[in-house]
């Protein structure tokens, strides 16, 4: 008998607890199911500019936004290609898999990358960053790149502290922030924090399908763009500014804008600050469960720096000798619960619970209870009662 015949498909709706892509609310799904429209038609322009205003409210910026038909990687590349000339220096704050991937992309594009190294469980030391900047007397560092919320480790890097390190060193470098898994989930203030390029994507906190990404761009970044010499065309901000919609070369993904319009309506209806508070509440409940499970040499929080816990994703380190991917397979095959896996060198070592976007108490409690059940049936050691510990933080 084949394995598939022996293992019946789990019943019930796929329970999706990944940190991205995230669950899409039904009203957004329905909004994206829109008939085709001409993106040059005035009735679409109205939707488009309203979305731009809404995105600016979420980014907390009055500056520019450029959009791309492509996932977050596209906006990463747009950010770099528009700002740098070959051989210029990007200083990356190491945080985990995503900071490494962005750095690798920069290297491939011909940018010289320097790194402020960091323990992935604790995050970068701001004093080390400030020392690196202060030592760069002739200002060869063109920009500092930081992943605001490192999705691979469940750690948030406080951007005001990065800003303070730049200002403290009196360094004029641009500040580039990847907000892909923080925007619309965690507090982010592009203009107040002096972020020059904010990279965002559709499929995480904005609760949309994958396929659109964008960069918030400061006036200072636009000046840097004017002299940047890295090759680019589709991502070229100057080409975009000549288009009627001041963005997008080529076809505009109109369905995603109908979805974005609904996403922004949902965010406005709840209130951005209430959105953040909900993420904080559900993240605390998640961490309480994991901290409880750890009691019996069980799984533990990967992030060991409480000031930097991420409120949109929690990475859970498996006990020695227990494979996280085998555990995730049990959760998926027996209970239809999809969890995030370990990325890069963390593959098999940890699993990740996404708690961002369209999420409420029943969803996170369902996830936590099912994780506890999957630990039980997998024979992974843990201290029972994590769900009660989560409940104690709620209500
Ligand atoms: C998901 C993610 C990315 C990559 O975005 P894609 O949309 O998958 O290309 C980059 N950075 C962070 C922090 C992410 O969470």
End-to-end CA distance of the chain: 49
**71, 145: one domain:** yes
Residue 6 pLDDT class (50, 70, 90 cuts): low
Reported as a single tens digit per residue, the pLDDT across 210-251 is 999 999 999 999 999 999 999 999 999 999 999 999 999 999
**258, 314: one domain:** no
Q: What is the pLDDT at residue 5? A: 56
Q: What is the pLDDT at residue 306? A: 97
Q: Which of 146, 147, 148, 178 to mutate to test the pocket of ligand 1 (most atoms within 8 A of CB)?
A: 178
**100, 206: one domain:** yes
**365, 348: one domain:** yes
Interval between CA 379 and ligand 1 midpoint (Å): 33
In a domain, 119, yes or no: yes
Q: Whose CA is nearest to atom 5 of ligand 1?
A: 72
Where does a domain end: 245, 268, 291? 268
Average pLDDT, integer, range 341-358: 98
In a domain, 19, yes or no: no
- What's the CATH number where 325 sits? 3.90.1150.10
**73, 139: one domain:** yes
In a domain, 105, yes or no: yes
What is the pLDDT of the chain when averaged over all its residues?
Answer: 97
**Domain count within the chain:** 2
Interval between CA 98 and ligand 1 midpoint (Å): 7
Q: Is 324 exposed, middle or buried (0-12, 13-18, 19+ CB in 10 A)?
A: buried
**258, 290: one domain:** no
Where does a domain end: 224, 245, 268? 268
Q: What is the pLDDT at residue 289? A: 98
In a domain, 183, yes or no: yes
In a domain, 30, yes or no: yes
**342, 240: one domain:** no
**297, 165: one domain:** no
Reported as a single tens digit per residue, the pLDDT across 359-380 is 999 999 999 999 999 999 999 9
Where does a domain end: 268, 295, 320? 268
Residue 329 pLDDT class (50, 70, 90 cuts): very high
The lowest-confidence range among 3-7, 200-204, 336-340 is 3-7
In ligand 1, the atom with minimum distance to the C-alpha of 73 is 9
d(CA 308, CA 154): 9
**174, 279: one domain:** no
Q: What is the pLDDT at residue 1? A: 46
Q: Which residues line ligand 1 (CB under 6 A)?
A: 20, 71-73, 98, 147, 149, 151, 178, 180-181, 201
Are the C-beta atoms of residues 287 and 309 closer than 8 Å to each other? yes
Interval between CA 43 and ligand 1 midpoint (Å): 32
| Residue 323: pLDDT over 80 | yes
**264, 276: one domain:** no
Give CA separation, 197 vs 145, 200, 323, 361, 386, in Å.
9, 10, 38, 34, 40
Average pLDDT, integer, range 183-198: 98
Interval between CA 180 and ligand 1 midpoint (Å): 6
In ligand 1, the atom with minimum distance to the C-alpha of 20 is 1
User: What range defines the domain where residue 344 resides?
Assistant: 272-394
- What's the CATH number where 237 sits? 3.40.640.10
In a domain, 15, yes or no: no
In a domain, 12, yes or no: no
In a domain, 4, yes or no: no
Q: Whose CA is nearest to atom 6 of ligand 1?
A: 72
Are the C-beta atoms of residues 180 and 204 closer than 8 Å to each other? yes
**159, 92: one domain:** yes
**162, 299: one domain:** no
């Amino acid at each position: 008998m084949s394995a598939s015949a022996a293992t019946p498909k789990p019943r019930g709706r796929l329970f999706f607890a990944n940190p991205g892509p995230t669950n899409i609310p039904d009203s957004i799904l329905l909004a994206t199911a829109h008939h085709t429209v001409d993106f040059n038609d005035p009735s679409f322009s109205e939707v488009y500019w309203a979305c731009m205003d809404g995105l600016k409210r979420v980014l907390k910026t009055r500056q520019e936004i450029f959009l791309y038909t492509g996932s977050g990687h596209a906006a990463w590349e747009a950010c770099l290609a528009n700002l740098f000339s070959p051989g210029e220096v990007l200083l990356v704050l190491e945080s985990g898999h995503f900071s490494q991937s962005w750095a690798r992309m920069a290297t491939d594009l011909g940018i010289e990358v320097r790194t402020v190294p960091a323990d992935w469980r604790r995050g970068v030391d701001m004093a080390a960053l400030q020392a690196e900047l202060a030592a760069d007397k002739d200002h060869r560092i063109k920009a500092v790149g930081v992943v605001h919320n490192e999705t691979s480790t469940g750690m948030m890097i406080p951007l005001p502290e990065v800003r303070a390190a730049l200002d403290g060193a009196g360094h004029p470098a641009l500040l580039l922030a990847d907000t892909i898994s923080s925007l619309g989930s965690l507090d982010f203030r592009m203009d107040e924090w002096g972020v020059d390029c904010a990279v965002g994507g559709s499929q995480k906190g904005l609760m949309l399908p994958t396929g659109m990404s964008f960069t918030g761009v400061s006036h200072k970044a636009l000046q840097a763009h004017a002299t940047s010499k890295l090759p680019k065309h589709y991502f070229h901000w100057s080409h975009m500014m000549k288009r009627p919609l001041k963005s997008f070369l080529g076809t505009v993904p109109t369905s995603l804008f109908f979805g974005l319009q609904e996403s922004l309506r949902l965010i406005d209806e709840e209130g951005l600050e209430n959105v953040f508070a909900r993420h904080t509440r559900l993240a605390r409940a998640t961490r309480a469960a994991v901290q409880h499970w750890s009691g019996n040499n069980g799984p533990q929080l990967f992030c060991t720096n409480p000031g930097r816990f991420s409120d949109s994703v929690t990475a859970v380190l498996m006990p020695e000798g227990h494979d996280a991917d085998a555990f995730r397979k049990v959760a998926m095959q027996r209970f239809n619960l999809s969890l995030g896996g370990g990325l890069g060198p963390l593959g098999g070592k940890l699993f990740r619970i996404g708690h961002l976007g369209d999420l409420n108490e029943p969803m996170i409690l369902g996830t936590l209870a099912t994780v506890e059940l999957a630990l039980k049936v997998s024979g992974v050691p843990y201290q029972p009662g994590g769900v009660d510990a989560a409940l104690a933080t709620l209500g």
